[in-house]
Chain A
Amino acid sequence: MSQTITRYQVVIGIECHVELKTATKMFCGCANEFGGEPNTKVCPVCLGMPGALPVANGVAIRHVIRAGLAFGAEIPAFSKFDRKNYFYPDMPKDYQISQYDMPLTLGGEVKYWREDGTMSACRLVRIHLEEDTGKSTHAGSGDGRIAGSSFSLVDFNRAGVPLMECVSEPEIHSAQDAVAYLEALRRTLLQLGVSDVKMEEGSLRCDANVSIRPAGSTELGTKTEIKNMNSFRSVHRAIESEFARQIEILESGGRVVQETRGWDEVNGVTHSMRSKELAHDYRYFPDPDLVPLEIVASDVEAMRASLPELPWKRFERYTAEYGLDPKQATQLIDNSELAEYFERVVTASSHPAQAKNFVLGELSRLANETQTPVAESKVLPEYLAELIALVEAKTINSKIAKDLLARMWEGAGSPRSLVEAEGLAQTSDPAAVESFVDQVIASNEKVVADYKAGKTNVAGFLVGQVMKASRGKADPALVNDLVRRKLG
């Protein structure tokens, strides 16, 4: 199979639906919250009651524009809402307020990085804003699927929640990259604060268009649309499975049928969702209940200027400037509080390598042990920077630094004060160190004899004894040097 695989290239486009984080729904004042007792977060507007009218949520509009800007999209000066007409029981008005030909953002790209640290990008077609539907539970069949169910139960709490649809170009070529794309999208939206982006709660939902073509070809093959993937892992598995299925069809002389296929998590296959549904004719037209949007260029510029540093830029900075490996950089980017802590330590200490070692090493170990996030610990970034400065100045050695950090974690405060109060500064005065060395040599005649007889490995023991005599404060390098010199 693997040889066959290399003869084909998979072409993937991803369509994401992201529920936006707002206090209220898209077109009414009902709370936008996940879950809750069925049919309790509804009003005449989101229930599509006769006579009710929509009024757009400005925060949701700005969320989409910010997302677009983060991906480098164009923000057209004019946008509008359209009605997408189709009947479905969990869609209250039997049309969805959406955007057809004038979405809020056009183009742009999602930059994503792979595990090996290489950076890639996938262009976006557009991002538009629409309203979510309610939820249908299919009953009477036992497995919750439509097929075989005898009736459905509808809850409209989710109906009208602001939903951002983000459509990529078909230019992703592996399941790994598809997941990396989604990770980057998720990180960006999370950082912008426009969504919780939780697949398990449905605030991020994605479909993948998958087609294959002979390696080297530039034409697109017939695509299938894969639905019902509810984790990044299932996205990965579903794409791999669909890739293999399409190869098998072509290899056996068949043709891929353009259709929607559902991912079956349990059996690890996609299955056809072909239905008796009429050919879709959504009859889009401008929603006469809503007025058009004119996006003011200066507002857009202000929003662009206020964008935070984006994850991909941070990734580049961490790896290129701070020397983090891709995994470490990703780890920090995915833990924004830790990253912020890290950045403050770097700023205060001007020493990214040490900052990384402490933050991702000893400090993270302590955090895990005590179940306390680093950012909430008593080790203020300034204290850690002090500690790093002490180590860098060779005022203390790493052993003392580790001990001090443990005490700082417990609330001991400034390491510099501790070092001063307790006289923990490393002894680098050659005369003082020499006196310790002389003492140790004098009181260990046998060991010295062994050394001179050729057992040079006992020098380590003597160095240890000197360190002990100095209560750990002697500069280990200096001790080492002096011990060897004295032994001749």
Chain B
Amino acid sequence: MATEIVERSAAEIARDVNAGKLSAREAADSALAQIDAVESRVGAFLTPLHAMAREQAARVDARVGAGERLPLAGVTLAVKDNMCLTGTRTTCGSKILEQWVAPYTATAVQRLIDAGAVVVGKSNLDEFAMGSSCENSALGVTRNPYDLDRVPGGSSGGSAAAVAAFEAAVALGSDTGGSIREPGAFCNLIGFKPTYGRVSRYGLIAFASSLDQIGPLTRTVEDAALVYDAMAGHDPMDSTSIDRVADLTANRLLESLSGLKIGIVRQFDTRELGADIDEVYDRAYHDLQALGAELHDVSLPTADYGLATYYLIAPAECSSNLARFDGVRYGLRVDAADVQAMYEQTRAAGFGPEVKRRILIGTYALSSGYYDAYYVRAQKARTLAARDFEKAFEDCDLIACPAASSPAFRFNAKSDPYSMYMMDYYTIPMSLAGLPALSVPCGWVTPPGGTRPMPMGLQLCAPIFGEKLLLGAAHAYEKATQHASKHRPQVSEV
């Protein structure tokens, strides 16, 4: 029974809880039981929240009992631990915030709670969301539920693993350069990054403010749409949140792609990724066509410069955003004789190597004499990235490409920083342009030397504010192909 509940989609749970066929308490208890059963192998959570989940579930049951209908009634939710939730430890996977308890709740999280979601835990991430494997977490190891020897992806690796391992029905992640889409692809999930500004960033601990965006990781497109619908929209607490009504998406899901033009990016040649992977994407593009879409060859001439652009802009913003972790008001402090030494020792002890690298490169890029050569030039390149997409979307409604260049890799496989950065090659251009994009399961490959088939993700991308079409099309593709259900996670094998 428990297994059955945890494997249900959010849409099914909400429907049953609203109908009185299932209590939110039952849904929460089954997820908590699953956490207790698999967490020692998966490690999705930094802080499971059993007591809070039960309290929230009781409130949902009371509200439903009083006649309310909640779009996410009883839907268990994992929250990436860079989002504030009052009274819970909010660590960013960093030693510098290891003991910090948030005194307020992020807008996106609050909206989901208000919609009936039940938070079962705060999930692991690469420290301050900087990474693509979750290996940069200073506070825990998260494993890929489909192969426990492999990474779940990152930085929203804990969120992805939790949903893939049925520890939560849905999860929130944050995506700066691919941190929702890549772990989504690695863990056989929908990983959806909305248009920049669609979801409030208030309470999301910033990595790179002009790129960060909260989005869902779910097992179905419909669930992603439900979560998105519940949290999208203007927030007066976030100046960059878009002040226009977000289209509802969950009731606009498509069954076919007929009449749609889908662009295939000339610069993203999947033959370079190896025969197995090439075949997966080739097949995916054909499936899109079979569903009625017209495929168009489109060009993103500056896509190859995306990584360089991103690795100036994101670190520059991060170097400033992370200055506040200084040992004065909260978080770790390493005592020293004077305040300068206190800063330096605290930050040396509190940040891991990847965070330090990015702070250093960002500080350098903004420093006197280099600002124009690096930061301003990157901002100009960012303009070109956005123009590339504008031009491409003159010829198509959506763009399809890989979400990642490989399936999930083994731990410690990417020893030099740059090879890890390359994991975001396909996701960064959309981030630079602020576009909505998602990854949807599109097939399985058994990596060289691997024993288990691992999921691959197809990335779909829409013009700005195109969430409705994006999710609609992804739903048609998902329903027709059913790739996600072809294999079960290793962790749920008996």
Contacts and interface: CB of A to CB of B under 8 A. Distances in A.
A154 B328 contact: yes
A285 B239 contact: no
B329 A48 contact: yes
Interface in B59-109: 82-84, 90, 92, 97, 100, 102-104, 106
Interface string A252-296: 000000000000000000000000000001011100111100000
Nearest to B313: A288
Contact of B326 (A47, A51, A94, A288): A94
Interface stretch (B39-47, B134-142, B366-374, B418-426): B366-374
B367 A50 contact: no
A152 B338 CA distance: 10
Contacts of A283: 319-320, 363, 366-368, 371
Interface stretch (B10-18, B118-126, B203-211): B203-211
Interface in B298-325: 316-317, 319-320, 323-325
A44 B86 CA distance: 12
A89 interface: yes
Contacts of A281: 367-368
A53 B326 contact: no
A53 B106 CA distance: 11
13 contacts: A44-B103, A49-B104, A50-B84, A51-B82, A51-B83, A51-B102, A52-B202, A53-B237, A53-B238, A54-B239, A55-B238, A283-B367, A284-B371
B204 to A, nearest CB: 6
Contacts of A221: none
Contacts of A93: 323-324
Contact of A56 (B239, B320, B367): B239
A134 to B, nearest CB: 10
B324 A288 contact: no
B481 interface: no
B237 A285 contact: no
A355 to B, nearest CB: 52
A24 to B, nearest CB: 13
Interface string A79-102: 000010101010011110000000
Nearest to A290: B239
Interface residues of A, number: 30
Contacts of A291: 239-240
Nearest to B368: A281
B228 interface: no
A49 to B, nearest CB: 7
Contacts of A54: 239
Contacts of A288: 208-210, 240, 317
Nearest to A88: B339
Secondary structure of the B side of the interface?
A: loop
B90 A89 contact: no
B343 to A, nearest CB: 6
Nearest to B212: A288
Contacts of B367: 281, 283
Contacts of A53: 201-202, 237-240
A68 to B, nearest CB: 23
B262 to A, nearest CB: 32
Contacts of B209: 288-289
A51 B106 contact: yes
Contacts of B450: none
Contacts of B202: 51-53
Contacts of B100: 50
B409 interface: no
Interface residues of B, number: 45
A285 B103 CA distance: 29
A481 B346 CA distance: 96
A154 B317 CA distance: 27
A154 B208 CA distance: 28
Q: Closest 8 A-B residue pairs measured CB to CB?
A: A94-B323, A283-B366, A288-B210, A288-B209, A50-B205, A51-B203, A51-B205, A48-B324
Q: Which of A54, A56, A87, A152 has the most CB of B within 10 A?
A: A87
Contacts of B240: 53, 288-291
A51 B206 contact: yes
Interface string A139-180: 000000000000010101000000000000000000000000
A163 B69 CA distance: 47
A92 B323 contact: no
Contacts of A49: 102-104, 329-330
Contacts of A47: 329
A93 B367 CA distance: 18
B375 interface: yes
A280 B239 CA distance: 29
Contact of A44 (B104, B326, B363): B104
Contacts of B324: 48, 50, 92-94
Given A55-B239, A94-B326, A85 B205 contact: no
Interface string A59-91: 000000000000000000000000101010100
Contacts of B339: 89, 152
Interface string B196-237: 000001111110111000000000000000000000000011
Interface in A285-332: 285, 288-291
Given A54-B239, A94-B326, A288-B240, 7 more contacts: A50-B206, A51-B204, A53-B237, A56-B239, A87-B326, A289-B206, A289-B240
Contacts of A89: 326, 328, 339
B135 to A, nearest CB: 22
A289 B84 contact: no
Interface in A17-54: 44, 47-54
A95 B328 CA distance: 14
Contacts of A92: 324, 329
Contacts of B236: 55
Contacts of B330: 49-50
Contact of B92 (A50, A56, A83, A154): A50
B84 A285 contact: no
Contacts of A289: 206, 209, 239-240
A152 B205 CA distance: 28
A54 to B, nearest CB: 7
Contacts of A44: 103-104
Contacts of A156: 329
Contacts of A52: 104, 202-203
A51 B329 CA distance: 14
Kindly name the residue among A53, A85, A284 whose own CB sees the greatest number of chain B CB atoms within 10 A: A53
Given A154-B328, A289-B240, A95 B320 contact: yes
A94 B327 CA distance: 11
